[in-house]
Amino acid sequence: MTGVWKARKTKPRFLSLPAARGLLRDFHIPTTPTTRRFLKKSTQERKPDGGSLRSRLRAHSSMRKCCLPHRPRLFVYGTLRRGFDNRYARLLERSARYLGLARVQGRLYDLGRYPGIQLQAEIDEWVTGDLFHLRTPSATFADLDEYEGPEFERLGATAILPNGDHTRCWVYEYRLPAPLDRRVLSGDFLKR
């Protein structure tokens, strides 16, 4: 096949672990340098026949990003957990379905009125929290990003459920240096 749309004709032989478990969608992505140049050029100009770049990308499933989680989940470990009575905890309760307790690898710090997590995969320490499935992720994340502020960054992580299942989720990580003397050794903000 010649021209701009050279692409793999077959799927990869081995799926990644999340894709094999059904946690990620498996999209076909053109990988040739020609295609990348075309995509870069098309972001700078619009075709006269109409449609934004976003609508054209949606029309071609082969050009979508791979590894998008099709189950938008959020792991919360502090004031957004069930049982807290604040505006954003109530918002999360209304706009998401509670999936149960889970844990994420990292360290938890008591920062005063709220905790902060620092994700660290190389240690054997865990933070306990609640896992939610978001019904309207873009609207919910817009509100929660505002609530968390610039001190926190939303990152992808792997949560482990009590039955041992692993699932990809979002978590708000504390970006500033954490005070070592404020570490919550239990890993559970409710049991500090």
Within the chain, all domains assigned CATH 3.10.490.10 are found at 73-191
Q: For 45-65, how does the pLDDT look when each residue is reduced to its tens digit (9 = 90+)?
A: 444 444 544 444 344 333 333
* Cα→Cα distances 45→41, 53, 54, 65, 70, Å: 7, 9, 12, 20, 30
Tell me the CATH class for 73-191. Answer: alpha beta
CB atoms within 10 A of CB 70: 8
**Tokens matching residue 181:** 């003397």
Q: pTM of the full predicted structure?
A: 0.64
User: Whole-number mean pLDDT of the chain?
Assistant: 75
**Of 71 and 46, which is predicted with more confidence?**
71
